A and B are shown apart, each in its own frame.
Chain A
Amino acid sequence: MDCHRNPIHCLVPDYLLREIAKRGGAEHRDAALDTLGLSATLRSARTQAEARRAAIGPARPPAAALRKPKVNRVIRNAENGEDLNSRIARQEGDPDTGDAAVDEAYEYFGTTWDFWFEVYARNSIDGAGLTLDGVVHYSQNFDNAFWDGDQMIFGDGSGQLFTRLTQSLSVCAHELGHGVIQYDGPLEYQGESGALNEHCADVFGTMVDQWRNGDTSEDADWLIGKEILAEGVTGKALRSMKEPGTAYDDDLLGKDPQPANMEDFVETTDDHGGVHINSGIPNKAFYETAVGLGGHSWEEAGRIWYTALGNPQLRPTSSFRRFARLTERVAAQLYGSGSKQADAVEAAWASVGITLHRTGAKGEARGRFVRA
């Protein structure tokens, strides 16, 4: 670090750097941001993310303040094997291959990257230009897509439950969202914090889908993975954020088990403690916030949620209640205490059984137990 060139690099604590970045002129702002960036080994990635987001500010068109970086995509074809280091089928700048899974992954990674940069001025998953790596045609009859900590992996589906998983933008953006959560959270993948991890990935997945379509919160379908249910499956999607528990009711899959209220919280040892089940509760709270505020989900509700995810007060094992409090606090910081945004967040959490301001109230009642 060069202490002689600019004293701001040596002496100023983080909170002041963030204020300088927010309020200072261009030169000071750049110096403050440089310093925050240079101190990567000394500060957590999460603190930096918060500072950069605070510096960009809610009102300023974010992309205009920065020179636009470039997306970098690498799509590998596992050819129905399980080698994650298989041959590269398409990389940045290459033309269409004619392989639908390869081309869909490439296109939807690009759409998702554009969303993150144009809406939140975030350069890729890590905020620092990380290459978007994906593997398609993974394994045989593989009814899943997942984030392995480094890259996104997609099966072709068995044709009985799901079809090619790359067909769904909300699924691709959900998987990429897990990467963002890993860098900004993180949220431990178990129990309530795991359900928050899943919830945030659904929030990002649906926002990318809605942004691509130009949907308002009122008009959007709020479905995750509507494109991939196989023919013959009775259902409309993997999950409904608008109406958790109604996405499918099928002989093979059973009925959608997602609750929409803390009264119906599911205690289970399956699925890392029900991470894809209980995520229905915060999903519904986000939907209610977005619809309550009107307009587009990514403008206010999404900004509140994204900022809360990067807030240092979020713990890896945070509960729904802690996250709810944090979203309300962030809404008050961004838009003012007593603002319609803060009120909408509080009302949305109350609607799913998490009350934030009633003295002595626990605010939630635990419900069902599925299996030992």
Chain B
Amino acid sequence: MAEPAGLRLSFRRSGGLFAGNVLATSAPVDDELAPLVERANLPALAERSPISGPGADVYQYELVLEDDRPPQRVIVQQTAVPDELRPLIERLERRAEDERRRG
């Protein structure tokens, strides 16, 4: 199922051992992201958010899916990332790291 036009996804990774290592990106849901967004089923995860897991110094991921409806917001801890969400997080993390490297 194709995502509605105008859909935008914001990603933010914070936490870890150290407060200063924040990684963020925001992008339209393009052809590359659309299948990953669909697989993740963010509206269902948003109902369970925040999704916490065991441990400490783990990353916290925050994803916000925005269009003309109320945004779907998911906060999930690194040790509790559901399998269906993992590919989307990995893709967004790489994208945010590339952006940070390029400055």
Contacts and interface: CB of A to CB of B under 8 A. Distances in A.
Interface string A129-171: 0000000000001011111111000000000110001000001
Contact of B79 (A148, A197, A225): A148
B17 A275 contact: no
Nearest to B23: A143
B57 interface: yes
Contact of A270 (B17, B22, B58, B100): B22
B58 A271 contact: no
A258 interface: yes
B60 A201 contact: no
Interface string A183-201: 0000001100000011001
A272 interface: yes
Nearest to A258: B19
A143 B57 contact: no
A165 to B, nearest CB: 8
Contacts of A271: 14-15, 19, 60
B41 interface: no
A161 B21 contact: yes
B15 A171 contact: no
B12 A144 contact: no
Given A254-B20, A257-B20, A276 B15 contact: yes
A323 interface: no
B18 A146 contact: no
Contacts of B43: none
B65 to A, nearest CB: 17
A40 interface: no
Given A144-B59, A147-B55, A270-B14, A276 B19 contact: yes
B12 A146 contact: no
Given A149-B55, A149-B79, A272-B15, A144 B21 contact: yes
Interface in A255-282: 256-258, 269-272, 274-277
7 contacts: A144-B21, A145-B17, A148-B58, A174-B17, A189-B56, A270-B22, A271-B15
- By Cβ-Cβ distance, the 10 closest A-B pairs, closest first, are A149-B54, A270-B14, A276-B19, A146-B57, A178-B56, A253-B20, A144-B16, A148-B55, A271-B15, A271-B14
